[in-house]
Amino acid sequence: MRRNRRARIVATLGPASSDEAAVRALFERGVDVFRLNFSHGTQSDHARRLETIRALEQEFGRPIGVLLDLQGPKLRLGTFDGGRVQLEAGARFRLDMDRTPGDARRAPLPHPEIFAALQDGTELLLDDGKLRLRVERHGADFAETTVLVGGPISDRKGVNVPSVLLPLSPLTPKDRDDLDFGLALGVDWVALSFVQRPEDIEEARALIGSRAWIMAKLEKPAAIEHLEGIVALSDGIMVARGDLGVELPPEQVPQLQRRIVRACRQAGKPVVVATQMLESMIAAPVPTRAEVSDVATAVYDGVDAVMLSAESASGKYPLEAVAMMDRIIARVEADPSYRSGIDATHAAAQATTADAVCASLRDVAALLAPAATVTYTSSGFTSLRAARERPAVPILSLTPDIVGARRMAMVWGVHAVLVDDVHDVAEMIECACRTARTEGFANPGDHVVVVAGLPFGQSGTTNLLHVARIPR
């Protein structure tokens, strides 16, 4: 099965898309990577979903990526007497560690790390930013605040502290348990929530090692301040616009999204744009025109993937949402201005042998218009560097490693195929030509551009470019 588009689709599985028939239908409609959201559902739920995905992979002979999304720390108020109160603008309101149910004058906030990081004047956001408080006075276990924006507030609503670097690990005990479980199942990517600094990636890497690739979710303003360091240490980036849009003025989010995408494209790291992309399709069979434009804008910017959350996990129209996203991507990529925009935002290659080879691949593809570029890779490095160049022709990634093939499902323009090990260049070229034909990329007489690293099996050795003609 071949996708005739470059950008990829990530879809979240949930109550609306858990059985075998639903997962199959989503895959056939265009899903490349399935997201298992560990904020919801049980471990056994996710294990069954992954088993279904792997069965589909065997049936269709196409590697399918699986993204484990960890919940991360959840900062929440405690409960209220009666379950709900009204806060009035201008009123004083106290937050403290006392777990007694709150009222209109105080509420429990069982997070000492928040109090430890507060300063006078810090603003706190409640319930996804619907209410806003300003800290007037604080201590190790309390904060006296003024209500700037009032409204109703109920039990266990979320708390955001946008301007403060919180002394919190991104991995809670629940996350560590879920991580062990998911790695044992064989997930391909791990999405790390609540990333604030590069050290958070290092902490996760110490636990994950090479068993999965790490995707940092950028949802905190502090992460933007350390963007380059986080991108450098991560395997991929997710622009998690939900919390980012709560903690920052919403008019800043499009600018930051574009900045993050460009930083990832420059580094050659896969980037996913997520949250509320087709939000109205949770309840409606068609999206708003603004949502269509939102998805299209991300594709025009050259993202590797766009993601569906509740639309596919719990919405009424998961198949329609995937089909709509597929059509939007296809229409954008057929637009002549798409290619010119990709070329205009292309970053200069680094001064390495691998980038010199892949930059030449881009030039050869533009001059010769081959049927495909073919990368032979064991670790995925060659395919990633080739995808960074955003060549005008498809990238056929040949690998003897199923794990690497699944990870490539997240990457722009890459069609991964599992092949046997090769032992010399002639065998590799023959394999590339044969696979380009059998996968429907090339016909007899067509050219393909082959990129690989010698010696075979060593990561980061991309040093060979060969133009081959498919035998007649």
Residue 268, classed as helix, strand or coil, is coil
Q: Beta strand 414-418 with 131-139: parallel, antiparallel or unpaired?
A: unpaired
Length of the chain (residues): 472
The catalytic residue among 5, 132, 217, 390 is 217
Contacts of residue 352, Cβ cutoff 8 Å, sequence gap at least 6 = none
Is residue 76 annotated as part of the catalytic site, yes or no? yes
CA dihedral sign, ordered 311, 312, 313, 314:
positive
Is residue 105 annotated as part of the catalytic site, yes or no? no
b/e for 420-457, b at 16 or more Cβ within 10 A?
Answer: eebeeeeebbebbbebbbebebbeeebbbbbbbbeebe
Q: Which residues on adjacent β-strands are paired with residue 270?
A: none
Q: Does residue 81 contact residue 107 with C-beta atoms inside 8 Å?
A: no
Is residue 134 annotated as part of the catalytic site, yes or no? no
Residue 139, φ and ψ in degrees, nearest 5: -145, -165
Is residue 217 annotated as part of the catalytic site, yes or no? yes
Token pair recorded at residue 384: 């990633």
Q: Which helix (H) or strand (E) holds 447?
A: strand 447-453
The catalytic residue among 48, 74, 76, 434 is 76
The catalytic residue among 35, 220, 362, 406 is 35
Token pair recorded at residue 326: 């597929």
Residues with catalytic roles: 35, 76, 217, 275
